[in-house]
């Protein structure tokens, strides 16, 4: 490896140590690369998050690009009242919902045949395979959740955000988020409960 590449790698590692707000500040002071460090930090999360709504990879990538474009345009007016992650998930949520409304449908309502997944006792050699199948079933059931329950559920269980942050993203009270999570979990429990063999 050339010394220049080593230096670049070192720079990238240093960039990784910065908080989101540090990177925003650096960008606002003229360091363009800081913005792309933020992009690299969040691109997978945002694509994954949007995919859980639209259930189409190409559209998820397209909407993620649009999310970052909006952030880029918003940057000169950036206010540090919110966490950067709150802002980006908020934009991604709004874009996803706008897309679903525009399409006039909630994509991802097709059901997976679950009879093959029914299991009372899991044979040890097949356990891994069955768990993978169960994950697919769970994924499908998450997609079938009404959007008001799906949003907080994905933000909490997949993106590991705090309740207060989810409340800010969705623009509702913490209590509302909690009750929606409660409802989402109960729906999933009803749908998947019999297949856990508990």
Q: Using CB under 8 A as the criterion, which residues of the chain lie in contact with another protein when the complex forms?
A: 36, 39-40, 43-48, 51, 57, 60-61, 64-65, 68-69, 72, 131, 134-135, 138-139, 142, 153, 156-158, 160, 162-163, 178, 181-182, 185, 188-189, 192-193, 196, 198
Tell me the closest approach of the beta carbon of residue 31 to another protein, in angstroms. 15
Determine the Cα–Cα distance for residues 118 and 185; give it in Å rounded to an integer: 20
- Minimum CB distance to another protein, residue 70 (Å): 11
From CA 173, how far away is CA 163, in angstroms rounded?
Answer: 9
Among left, alpha and beta (phi > 0; psi -120 to 50; other), residue 55 is: left
Instruction: Report residue 144: phi and psi, to 5°.
Output: -80, -10
Task: CB nearer to another protein: give 54 or 86.
Answer: 54
Residue 3 vs 198, nearer CB to another protein: 198
Asked if 130 and 119 count as a contact pair (C-beta separation under 8 A), the reply is yes
In angstroms, what is the minimal distance from the CB of 20 to another protein? 16
Chain position carrying tokens 């995919």: 51
Whose Cβ is closer to another protein: residue 104's or residue 120's?
Answer: 120
Q: At what angle do helices 57-74 and 32-54 cross, to 10 degrees?
A: 140
Least Å distance, CB 100 to another protein, is: 17
- The nearest distance, CB 108 to another protein, in angstroms, is 13
- Between the CA of residue 159 and those of 3, 19, 116, 165, 166, what are the distances in Å? 37, 18, 30, 11, 10
How near is the Cβ of 42 to another protein at its closest, in Å? 9
Q: Of the two residues 3 and 92, which places its CB atom closer to another protein in the complex?
A: 92
Which CB, 73 or 105, lies closer to another protein?
A: 73
Cα–Cα distance for residue pair 78/56, rounded to 1 Å:
31
Nearer to another protein, 86 or 165 (CB): 165
């Amino acid at each position: 490896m050339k010394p220049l590449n080593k230096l670049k790698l070192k720079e990238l590692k240093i960039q990784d140590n910065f908080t989101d707000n540090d990177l925003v500040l650096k960008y606002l002071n003229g360091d363009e690369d800081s913005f792309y460090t933020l992009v690299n930090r969040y691109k997978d999360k945002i694509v994954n998050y949007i995919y859980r709504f639209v259930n189409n990879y190409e559209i998820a990538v397209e909407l993620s690009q649009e999310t970052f474009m909006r952030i880029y345009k918003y940057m000169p007016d950036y206010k540090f009242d919110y966490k950067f992650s709150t802002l980006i998930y908020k934009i991604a949520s709004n874009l996803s919902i706008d897309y679903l409304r525009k399409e006039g449908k909630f994509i991802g309502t097709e059901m997976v045949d679950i009879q093959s997944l029914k299991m009372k006792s899991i044979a040890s050699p097949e356990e891994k395979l069955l768990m993978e199948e169960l994950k697919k079933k769970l994924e499908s059931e998450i997609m079938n959740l009404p959007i008001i329950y799906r949003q907080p559920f994905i933000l909490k269980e997949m993106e590991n955000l705090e309740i207060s942050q989810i409340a800010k993203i969705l623009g509702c009270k913490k209590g509302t988020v909690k009750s929606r999570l409660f409802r989402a979990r109960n729906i999933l429990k009803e749908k998947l409960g019999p297949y856990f063999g508990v």
